[in-house]
Amino acid sequence: MKKVGLLLILLGLSAASFLVFAEAPTCPADLGGKCDDSDDWKGEFFAGIPKIKYEGPSSKNPLAFKWYNAEEEILGKKMKDWFRFSVAFWHTFRGTGGDPFGAPTKFWPWEDGTNSLAMAKRRMRANFEFLKKLGVEWWCFHDRDIAPDGQTLEEANKNLDEVVELAEELQKESKIRPLWGTAQLFLHPRYMHGAATSSEVGVYAYAAAQVKKAIEVTHYLGGENYVFWGGREGYQSLLNTDMGRELDHLARFFEAAVAYKKKIGFNGTFLIEPKPQEPTKHQYDWDAATSANFLRKYGLIGEFKLNIECNHATLSGHTCHHELETARLNGLLGNIDANSGDAQTGWDTDQFLTDVAEATMIMFSVIKNGGLAPGGFNFDAKLRRESTDVEDLFIAHISGMDTMARGLRNAAKLIEEGTLGEVVSKRYSSWDSELGKQIEEGKADFEYLEKKAKEWGEMKVASAKQELAEMIFQSAL
Amino acid sequence: MKKVGLLLILLGLSAASFLVFAEAPTCPADLGGKCDDSDDWKGEFFAGIPKIKYEGPSSKNPLAFKWYNAEEEILGKKMKDWFRFSVAFWHTFRGTGGDPFGAPTKFWPWEDGTNSLAMAKRRMRANFEFLKKLGVEWWCFHDRDIAPDGQTLEEANKNLDEVVELAEELQKESKIRPLWGTAQLFLHPRYMHGAATSSEVGVYAYAAAQVKKAIEVTHYLGGENYVFWGGREGYQSLLNTDMGRELDHLARFFEAAVAYKKKIGFNGTFLIEPKPQEPTKHQYDWDAATSANFLRKYGLIGEFKLNIECNHATLSGHTCHHELETARLNGLLGNIDANSGDAQTGWDTDQFLTDVAEATMIMFSVIKNGGLAPGGFNFDAKLRRESTDVEDLFIAHISGMDTMARGLRNAAKLIEEGTLGEVVSKRYSSWDSELGKQIEEGKADFEYLEKKAKEWGEMKVASAKQELAEMIFQSAL
Amino acid sequence: MKKVGLLLILLGLSAASFLVFAEAPTCPADLGGKCDDSDDWKGEFFAGIPKIKYEGPSSKNPLAFKWYNAEEEILGKKMKDWFRFSVAFWHTFRGTGGDPFGAPTKFWPWEDGTNSLAMAKRRMRANFEFLKKLGVEWWCFHDRDIAPDGQTLEEANKNLDEVVELAEELQKESKIRPLWGTAQLFLHPRYMHGAATSSEVGVYAYAAAQVKKAIEVTHYLGGENYVFWGGREGYQSLLNTDMGRELDHLARFFEAAVAYKKKIGFNGTFLIEPKPQEPTKHQYDWDAATSANFLRKYGLIGEFKLNIECNHATLSGHTCHHELETARLNGLLGNIDANSGDAQTGWDTDQFLTDVAEATMIMFSVIKNGGLAPGGFNFDAKLRRESTDVEDLFIAHISGMDTMARGLRNAAKLIEEGTLGEVVSKRYSSWDSELGKQIEEGKADFEYLEKKAKEWGEMKVASAKQELAEMIFQSAL
Amino acid sequence: MKKVGLLLILLGLSAASFLVFAEAPTCPADLGGKCDDSDDWKGEFFAGIPKIKYEGPSSKNPLAFKWYNAEEEILGKKMKDWFRFSVAFWHTFRGTGGDPFGAPTKFWPWEDGTNSLAMAKRRMRANFEFLKKLGVEWWCFHDRDIAPDGQTLEEANKNLDEVVELAEELQKESKIRPLWGTAQLFLHPRYMHGAATSSEVGVYAYAAAQVKKAIEVTHYLGGENYVFWGGREGYQSLLNTDMGRELDHLARFFEAAVAYKKKIGFNGTFLIEPKPQEPTKHQYDWDAATSANFLRKYGLIGEFKLNIECNHATLSGHTCHHELETARLNGLLGNIDANSGDAQTGWDTDQFLTDVAEATMIMFSVIKNGGLAPGGFNFDAKLRRESTDVEDLFIAHISGMDTMARGLRNAAKLIEEGTLGEVVSKRYSSWDSELGKQIEEGKADFEYLEKKAKEWGEMKVASAKQELAEMIFQSAL
């Protein structure tokens, strides 16, 4: 076998999923061994799982929503419209439980251990069944997750087209659309030095071709956004890196992407997803402010928004709430990758968020932003490696959606009660004065301010009432 | 005694130095008890300490330079001109060894336990003797370090003027000038919610008046830069904070500062000193990129540069080298606060840098920047709490200067040898091609690049040779 | 004034409280300026604050409990007996809001700016009023918090005796007793190199004398525990430290303390409070396991338990729950310092815990431990620096108590429902087999196990059901 | 193909190396395509690489030692005997450059893309050639690195025996022996919940059988130590974990291992390798002190020593020097995994150590320990993912060996000069007094110490001279 051929097979696997193996041919468990290994098998993949329904907080049913009630209105908008939840194809359908020290642990019954086109299509059908049963109308994907890579770019594109065609067909019968698409520019060894920031000019060209295609298919499928996550755009060591040149290349790449998007009439939002590090020692899109600075420096500020991931936020030393507010105040809050890290680990754990307090703070930002549309909440979250039952996929998503729903309900309650808001507005009330107005309008120069300071003498500075604010907040959870 | 009066006395102390106490009146140790407690005592403060000289690497004398040879030329410039070393008045003359759990430990013989004007003047004389013996031509100060605060702004300004007058006189006999001045906007409880970002408008006005005066005295003393460190410009909790409004206020403040600087003809550089946190949970000037984004967003990018502190760099999750390069690539590298943190602690330890490898990387950035003038290297570093001998002040500075000198010598050696540079330029050589040029000039659109990618097929991607780069680097140390 | 005299005054202040200043003489605010500065003033200190009552979850009254209902029984025990809440004298009555960059911000109306004996007594009366209004029956103290230091050990002891006499008298009328006492061995510069681990033998002796006295007064006041927190027992640099010798000294010190305790008939529990670092770079009692190893190595394991502080737990890289379980499994869980850190900062913030999920996990450990008595929950937590109203002291404690009460209620609910417990017991059910029993009894050697492994072939490994456990847990909050 | 069969093939790969692919059949590059794919091909694998020689510090040859001179005596012992360097088979021969987001990048010319026995044998020959050319006499291995796994335990053991036989034969012609062997108890999904601490009793049995065999082959090959690294012995969440039961199981496992070792007459040292986390959220052998506590609690303290890995040390919040000293002072310093982490990343980077200062501190501990034999220095370090040339394997090891050699030379110089030692002994000189002796002998009770403290009054506490110690240390580098 040729090196390239073997490479191909292996690279079809998505980022976190190096190995997939199972008895072949397999098929949904409920068929008891008899099955059809062709790609147009159309049976039920999750036979034991019903459509997930809202049953309210007193329900003990793990396969029911206790707080997420899609059609219920909160602050004048349906819950489903506040969230626009999306399932991440890579974690849910290509995650295998592999980690840096461990082999895959997940052997889903529909997987046959191959990375064939037939398998890709069967998996896509499973995806749509999952979305429908969960009651979610958006999905997100990398190009190389959904279709096998090819020995050549042409072959890879052909594979992609074939799976996209099926996805388009499956979408037709539903409201389901991609929240966003993206290109996988980190798994293949070609990208080991970066894609747009690779030290090899040929890699830059290849990445451009791949992104071009990924934008096209996202557009074709009705995707509302397109994401750039530069997992390899950064450095491992400054000793062998020309950071200035690499950053310039990244800007050229984004400029060309913008030009191409306009050329083909794709109106979706371009989103940069900041992450400080991992796999790279230092990624260029470190956090929201760093990404904003990059966009401003290169005159790209109007063309991009940000996709804030909570786990990335904490890895960069900020809270998720901080990153959302930073994005919002820079006019850049476009989408949220709803997940959570582990406060005691220094790597991306991509857990489903189950912290109600954090969810409440997230929803404060989202409400202030007037929602996220055309963005939404993508569950960039995965099962723990040790969770190996098919139902765990549902339990995890239900838990994540319920947590966010509790966050929305709590945030709405706090806003409607107004007590917390009063603490804040009272705190800044001195700024609602004549002098406050002059300063905010840029009319108070240092000499005028010095005159005022001398007139006033020592001023009284009030308590910040942080414990009161925390008490009000905690009581609402 | 009135509250304000007592407050005054106590606030005269600089940030890290809450308490100073000693037998009063004191005087230099060498006088053996007999002394003159007036402010014009002009004897020798560091009687046992000679002028520090360069003795070369084989010297075992702790009070001699082994690598720093001020007049020696390296890469066409004198060592002293590469560094422009400065002593930080606050750490060296107001640091007392207090920490969050401990009282002061340093009882310098010239201190009398008061915060009087007389004491301030005596201390200023000690400062100039220290600078001369160490062979350093710049110093840095906060307004409230060098002179006692007052019951009113007028009184504080009067105190400041009196000490500045003496400093100016002491400068006259020498080449010594301030590398930069700054206002202490963090110690006084008035600033507990911030200065320019305080929730109280009166505090904003007071801060403006204080900065106005600090710029004036820096200008008067021939200072070449003016620094803004916003230790309280940030938040403790987002629950009680209006971050957007606070950031706007900060921008208004900087605009007014710029206007005032121009009005009085001060040509020094304005510098922002990023720090992620401490004392504040989250400071607005988190790191170099965050500060750059702020400056760009508010149209202030041409008016400020950055003062990068190594300990702040590591607290924000970056290496010092990274922060320097980020500042440099944004055209913002103005000054360095040469110190080091402890890799295992989560707070600012402000240690003297003794890591030769780090010093070498710092000097790579400085050399690429063509030096730092009108900025320089300020030793924002302090003795450990347990180091209580007068000679420790000298030993620490000598050690810091020698480490930086080794860094410069090593960086120069590596540049002159060229081997490390070759590793890098070879790595990017594919970009020195026709296509590389087209991309860098913004002439390669996605369709053209796709065409190229298809033509080329899979490209070979070379080794990054990081271990080789590390070997070359380490061998030069 | 002599150095020692001034030092004395200043050192009377507790750890985090370097400066106290106020108009002198002051008195409770409600007296409107007229007041009695003698130590036997017996009016009301918190005149506007009522006795805090339980009003239930729907109450919006910040000065009422919403979840803590002292007499209510949960799992067969009164809430007050589960918690045995204690107020930390140092934070509540000696905390001034000072931080490494800032002066004090708190000017309580009963403070007169002195560290006099009269002031110490007035403060002690305020303490008892606070405890009674809050409904808390225990308090904790350092020797030097409650009484002024002295020029000599004798004088310090005399001051302490006088204040202890008053405390004893105030205790008489109530059930209030010390949960624990301790000696402050970190503030005075004498202790800069450690107390029991100081490089100076005289400091060791002084520390012994101080601890001897502190044990005596704790015993006298009916304290049920005595705590050792070694804030300075550690090192700043291994380059100048003889760690082996210092650890031996620490063991000798503890042995002598145990001997003395027995000699005087003090039956309270000795507790070590682990903390990884701050103020020291590396403290010897790093975490629960490190402390346990020390106790075992030196044969002290039966003589001490641990006081686990949640903020210290997270600073050492563990969750609070982990540290509690580690202590419990080593038979060492004696007391909890109930507070919380900030997940994004690298120093001890000593915040009041308001995270209900964390409180629930803490209570799991406490319930498994059968409670903590004779230990309890000490609020080693302080107001934020910017919280300067007298009522903030109450709000913070109420919030902390309510959060813990929610934790207890949730833990009890989860235990009573049993669903979470079932997930765990099912997970380990294979161990409830014959082979499991043999292994647990130490009867299964490697050859026997190999034989079994060969017989069985590849075994099925079940899902860990972590997401299900998290869902059940979150739903109970 | 059966699931198990495919799993087998894939699991033969070592931990960090999920995928190996190359043109098949391949052979050493120098044969230009013609080659022999049988397992007894005996040509030269590293044809372009000479035996690495010592050329001294002025050499610019990347394939020469500049500081490591094997036969040179330092402090009375040959350099090779101080270090007893070992190459880690897994990183060097099974590392493929895969990371959580990326596929393999290394395509060594001797690899054929299979995990066959023939390939395993060819790889073993490459290993011995590598060791000889590098001049290293020890190697370390996991059972599953060196031989393919099997469908059954019997088959796996048979594979292992066959490769071990070859290794034994290759050893014969040389002094090369295993420094240690170990069992890979983390890659296979069977171990996802742990091995000795798995929730499944059958996994415990399987692990016992695997360790039994691994001890046997280590013994057979003349290995001098055997290592236990419990990468999966820990928990992901306390919510679904019975930590107490798991720890008991771990103790039972170690007891059985000790019994078996004695039974078969293996006199090698058992070593526990502490690591705080990764892949597990929290590993039971967190750090040296935690491991020591475990050993003491379960009465295993005399049966094990520790293998300290520098990268694990920093991940647990300590310096490597601290962990070495902790191990040494507990009588447990047995072996060093010589590598380094990245101070800015929160995961295990396993880099070759190139920090001369750190190497010097490591050597202080080793010298105090009288060397490490029968332990040594194992290079548990890997090439960066982007380093893909065969020569990079040599460069990295040379760089690591030279750095350690510089560390030894510097430490010896400092010890011989004695200046640093004097700073320390002077610091503790007060303990060399009568009272110091009494205390150290446990003869000074609290009453006696109090009496002394009263006699002496306030003592003078000397400067810690940390900056002086740092200056002396830095000057010697």
Instruction: Please report, for chain C, the start and end positions of each structural domain, with discontinuous segments joined by +.
Output: 29-417, 430-475
Structure tokens at B370: 């063509």
Summarize the confidence of residues B359-372 as an average pLDDT.
98
Smallest CA–CA distance, residue A392 to chain C, in Å, is: 7
Question: Residue C280 gets which letter from DSSP?
Answer: S
Q: For residue A28, name the pLDDT band (cuts at 50, 70, 90).
A: very low
Residue D469, C-beta contacts closer than 8 angstroms, at least 6 positions apart: C237, C239, C240, D420, D423, D424
Closest by CA to C22, choosing from C147, C108, C124, is C108
Structure tokens at B49: 């300490």
Report the C-alpha dihedral over residues B130, B132, B138, B144, rounded to 10 degrees: 30
Task: Give how far Cα C367 sits from Cα of B112, C401, D247, Å.
Answer: 57, 17, 20
Residue B36, pLDDT > 90, answer no
Residue type, D66: K
User: Could D319 and C238 be called an inter-chain contact, meaning their C-beta atoms sit closer than 8 Å?
Assistant: yes
A350: left (phi over 0), alpha (psi -120 to 50) or beta: left
**Chain A contact probe: residue of C92, C467, C475, C477 with most A CBs at under 10 A:** C467
pLDDT reported for residue C40? 61
Summarize the confidence of residues B105-133 as an average pLDDT.
96
Q: For residue B81, name the pLDDT band (cuts at 50, 70, 90).
A: very high
Structure tokens at A233: 């755009």
CB pairs under 8 A between A and B: 278
Per-residue pLDDT of chain C (477 residues; tens, 9 = 90+): 334 433 443 443 333 333 333 333 334 433 344 444 555 666 899 999 999 999 999 999 999 999 999 999 999 999 999 999 999 999 999 999 999 999 999 999 999 999 999 999 999 999 999 999 999 999 999 999 999 999 999 999 999 999 999 999 999 989 999 999 999 999 999 999 999 999 999 999 999 999 999 999 999 999 999 999 999 999 999 999 999 999 999 999 999 999 999 999 999 999 999 999 999 999 999 999 999 999 999 999 999 999 999 999 999 999 999 999 999 999 999 999 999 999 999 999 999 999 999 999 999 999 999 999 999 999 999 999 999 999 999 999 999 999 999 999 999 999 999 999 999 999 999 999 999 999 999 999 999 999 999 999 998 999 999 999 999 999 999
Closest by CA to B365, choosing from B315, B306, B419, is B306
pLDDT reported for residue D39? 56
> Can you list the residues of chain D whose pLDDT is less than 70?
1-41
pLDDT tens digits along A366-412:
999 999 999 999 999 999 999 999 999 999 999 999 999 999 999 99
Tell me which of D142, D219, D312, D397 is the catalytic residue. D142
Structure tokens at D317: 């919040």
Residue C404, C-beta contacts closer than 8 angstroms, at least 6 positions apart: C68, C83, C85, C338, C353, C359, C362, C363, C377
Residues paired with residue C177 on neighbouring β-strands, in sequence order: C138
Specify whether the CB–CB gap between B464 and D387 falls below 8 A. Answer: yes
> DSSP readout, C374-405?
T--EEE-----TT---HHHHHHHHHHHHHHHH
Residue A12, pLDDT > 60, answer no
Specify whether the CB–CB gap between B402 and B338 falls below 8 A. Answer: no
**Where does residue A77 rank: exposed (0-12), middle (13-18), buried (19+ CB within 10 A)?**
middle
Q: How far is A47 from D460, CA to CA, in rounded Å?
A: 80
Nearest CB to C356: which of A352, A465, A474?
A: A474
pLDDT reported for residue B39? 56
Handedness of CA D430, D431, D437, D440 (dihedral sign): positive
* Chain C residues close to D206, C-beta within 8 Å: 453, 456, 459
pLDDT reported for residue B41? 65
User: Could B202 and A4 be called an inter-chain contact, meaning their C-beta atoms sit closer than 8 Å?
Assistant: no
| Long-range contact set of residues C106-111: C-beta below 8 Å, sequence gap at least 24 | C106/C383, C106/C388, C107/B3, C107/C21, C107/C22, C107/C388, C108/C22, C108/C390, C109/C22, C109/C26, C109/C27, C109/C28, C109/C29, C109/C45, C109/C390, C110/C26, C110/C27, C110/C28, C110/C45, C111/C20, C111/C22, C111/C26
Structure tokens at C19: 């400066």
Q: For residue B473, name the pLDDT band (cuts at 50, 70, 90).
A: very high
User: Could C7 and B102 be called an inter-chain contact, meaning their C-beta atoms sit closer than 8 Å?
Assistant: no
User: Could C468 and A392 be called an inter-chain contact, meaning their C-beta atoms sit closer than 8 Å?
Assistant: yes
The alpha carbon of B212 is separated from its chain's Cα centroid by a whole number of angstroms, namely 21
Question: What pTM was estimated for this model as a whole?
Answer: 0.95
Angle between helix C153-172 and helix C201-220 axes, rounded to 10 deg: 20
C177: left (phi over 0), alpha (psi -120 to 50) or beta: beta
Whether residue B125 lies within 8 A of chain D, CB to CB, comes out as no
Closest by CA to C250, choosing from B7, A100, D442, D55, is D442
pLDDT reported for residue C314? 98
Smallest CA–CA distance, residue A229 to chain D, in Å, is: 12
ipTM: 0.94
> DSSP readout, A352-394?
PP--HHHHHHHHHHHHHTT--TT--EEE-----TT---HHHHH
Q: How far is B199 from A463, CA to CA, in rounded Å?
A: 10
Residue A244, pLDDT > 70, answer yes
Pairing of strands C77-78, C73-74: antiparallel
User: Could D192 and A101 be called an inter-chain contact, meaning their C-beta atoms sit closer than 8 Å?
Assistant: no
Helix (H) or strand (E) holding B79: helix B79-83
SS (HEC) of A452-471: HHHHHCCCCCCCCCHHHHHH
* Chain A residues close to C469, C-beta within 8 Å: none
Give backbone dihedrals phi and psi of C131, rounded to 5 degrees, phi first: -60, -45
Name the one residue in this structure whose structure tokens are 């997992």.
A231
Closest by CA to C283, choosing from C314, C312, C308, is C312
* Chain A residues close to B203, C-beta within 8 Å: 459, 461
Nearest CB to D347: which of A19, A97, A346?
A: A346
A257: left (phi over 0), alpha (psi -120 to 50) or beta: alpha
Specify whether the CB–CB gap between B126 and B165 falls below 8 A. Answer: no
Nearest CB to B113: which of C6, C105, C344?
A: C6
pLDDT reported for residue A173? 82
pLDDT reported for residue A10? 41
Q: How far is B472 from B466, CA to CA, in rounded Å?
A: 10
User: Could B319 and D344 be called an inter-chain contact, meaning their C-beta atoms sit closer than 8 Å?
Assistant: yes
Residues of C (192-211) whose Cβ lies below 8 Å from D: 192-193, 198-206, 208-209, 211
Q: How far is A363 from A405, CA to CA, in rounded Å?
A: 9
Question: Residue A102 gets which letter from DSSP?
Answer: B
Nearest CB to D321: which of C238, C244, C276?
A: C238
User: Could B297 and A297 be called an inter-chain contact, meaning their C-beta atoms sit closer than 8 Å?
Assistant: no
CB pairs under 8 A between B and C: 155
Task: Kindly report the CATH number that applies to the domain delimited by B29-417.
Answer: 3.20.20.150
Residues paired with residue D307 on neighbouring β-strands, in sequence order: D335
Q: How far is C233 from C274, CA to CA, in rounded Å?
A: 11
> DSSP readout, A12-35?
TS-TT-------SS---GGGTT--
Structure tokens at D247: 């720890």
pLDDT reported for residue B30? 38
Residue B237, pLDDT > 50, answer yes
**Which runs of consecutive H residues, i.e. helices, occur in B173-319?**
201-220, 243-263, 288-297, 310-315
Residue D158, C-beta contacts closer than 8 angstroms, at least 6 positions apart: D150
